[in-house]
Chain A
Amino acid sequence: MIRYALGRLTSLILSLIVASIVIFAVIEVIPGDPAAFMLGVNARPDTIAALRAEMGLDRSLAVRYADWVAGMLRGDFGQSWTYKTAVSELIADRIWVSLPLAIYALALSTLIAFPAGIYAASRRGSAGDVTIMGATQLGVAIPNFWFAMILVLIFAINLRWFSAGGFPGWDNPLQAIKALTLPAIALALPQAAILARVMRSSLLDMLGEDFMRTARAKGLTRRQALWKHAVRNALIPVLTIIGLQFSFLLAGGIIIEQVFFLPGLGRLIFQSISARDLIVVESVVMILVFVVILVNFLVDLAYAAVDPRLRARA
């Protein structure tokens, strides 16, 4: 297990290094000068020179890269050019919208997908199974931002149960959760459809295993065998998908935040892109990549913890 974990950790660190180089390079290869890019076409040469100095662009590439990485390791992501505050503060503010939203959506997705997948698999070929599988086909085909607009149309504009957008802050947790509900549903539904399909097919595989026959032979009812043996084993591949989904939900939240005017990381990225505030863009992207890679790493570890075969193979 320890060897396996060390191996995964090495690849985690390698991934982060390559990711940081890629992100740094993308920002660097902007046609022309980043300072000129940030100031726009009408900037005076002396303003550009001043910003170049402020951003440290007069130093060599390697020095700037090392500086950026060293800063991030200390939790210093530099100064935002437009907000005039530390990027780490901007991110700390916004993460309290994006992270709860992703967790909320993941919880919803799991709550919908598990019963649906288990029901469909245990009644394979029944009308219920066909209906659920049909619904998942629709679910994976729906663009989530469009689904979000439809939710707003129905539940905010017509029924007036929810507000159409905005976020009141966490001072009143109930209001905050309410404001995140429609966005979370919009994010969760397509993911739930995928998860339900994985759950169903994974469970169907298990139902065909020899140990299920053994379980029935020793006197368990179908239901007991299903819950005690099949569902447990079927969860292993499902776990991987849940991990992948979390990172997708965090990144996918970017677009949903736009639909609901939520002040999360997504809106921060877009505002920074239109303000040409590259330092913020660079750092937020790096943080999202970091979270995604970290979650994948944790999933790999969890996977190995529950499935000894994987440890042996590594």
Chain B
Amino acid sequence: MSRNLIIGALLSALFLGLAALSFVWTPYDIATLDIPGKLQGPSGAHLLGTDHFGRDILSMIMMGARSSIAVAVVAVGIGMAIGIPLGLLAAARRGSLLDEVIMRGNDLVFAFPSLVIAILITAVFGASAVNAIIAIGIFNIPVFARLARGAALPLWERDFILAARVCGKSATRISVEHILPNITNLMIVQGTIQFSLGILAEAALSYIGLGAQPPTASWGRMLADAQTLVSIAPHTALVPGFAILLMVLGLNLLGDGLRDWLDPRLRVVRA
């Protein structure tokens, strides 16, 4: 296993762990305000300090990890659940009108500036975590559809697929039983990358007030609150920023590491 994979897995596990832990325990209750104790720097009582309402920042980070991860995971899930079947279908009916329609539809979604459309969606339907998920999820669909099609096409030329066809299996069965297992690794790697992009997108949307709404904690929201305080209490801006940075970095390293690890050809080259 490469160093990338290990560092990436550890960083990702750290934040997933913090998010999971927040369901049963946080150092402080983030619903309780403590105005006299506001904007304290890191100390023994508050490891990462307190924010402008005197809330414990570590607890906020833990709760924020939960919303960031939830939004990004569901958005990736939407992309996979719709995109992969579309890609498999396009590959199974390659060259047909259906294939053409699916791929041109993909190009079209790619052509949209995702952030602008996400803003439009959340502005019109109201700012909420659910709408942020939909807005981010839509743009994951063509990513997986294109990748699944691209990976499935060469497989259709292989002998074992021919064997399956000779056995009388339908295109759908072949896609599910033979193509899908062979592209799973690739989808997992891409899923990790999209996961990290989702974390960044969620942070951006909630920073501009179009993501999770207060009192739900979110990293982007924390940064928005910290913006006017950055000169008097820099830690309020530094901590959530580093949380996003480390989480995204961890997922990217994990994705890179997984790709190298899951692809035996690359392993041979490196060895």
Contacts and interface: CB of A to CB of B under 8 A. Distances in A.
Interface of A: 11, 14-15, 18-19, 23, 26-27, 29-31, 137-138, 140-143, 145-146, 149-150, 152-153, 157, 247-248, 250-252, 254-255, 258-259, 269-270, 273, 281, 285, 288-289, 292-293, 296
14 contacts: A15-B108, A23-B120, A30-B124, A138-B249, A146-B203, A146-B244, A149-B241, A150-B238, A150-B241, A255-B204, A285-B116, A285-B117, A285-B119, A292-B113
Contact of A26 (B113, B115, B120): B120
Given A141-B246, A143-B220, 18 more contacts: A15-B107, A15-B108, A15-B111, A26-B120, A143-B241, A145-B223, A146-B244, A251-B116, A254-B208, A255-B204, A258-B208, A259-B227, A269-B116, A270-B208, A273-B119, A281-B120, A285-B117, A293-B111
B211 to A, nearest CB: 12
A241 to B, nearest CB: 14
Contact of B230 (A18, A27, A149, A254): A149
Nearest to B230: A153
Interface string B110-134: 0111111101110111000000000
Nearest to B203: A143
Contacts, number: 111
Nearest to A284: B116
A11 B104 CA distance: 9
| Interface residue SS majority, chain A | helix
B196 A141 contact: yes
B200 interface: yes
Q: B107, B111, B196, B207: which has the most chain A beta carbons within 10 Å?
A: B111
A254 to B, nearest CB: 6
A258 to B, nearest CB: 6
Interface in B113-170: 113-117, 119-121, 123-125
Contact of B231 (A31, A157, A254): A157
A210 to B, nearest CB: 19
Nearest to A272: B123
A141 B252 contact: yes
B248 interface: yes
Assign chain B's interface to a size class. Answer: 35 or more
Interface of B: 104, 107-108, 111-117, 119-121, 123-125, 196, 200, 203-204, 207-208, 220, 223, 226-227, 230-231, 234, 237-238, 240-241, 244-246, 248-249, 252-253
Contacts of B220: 143
Contacts of A281: 120, 123
A31 B107 CA distance: 29
A239 to B, nearest CB: 17
Given A18-B108, A255-B204, A140 B252 contact: yes
Contacts of B240: 146
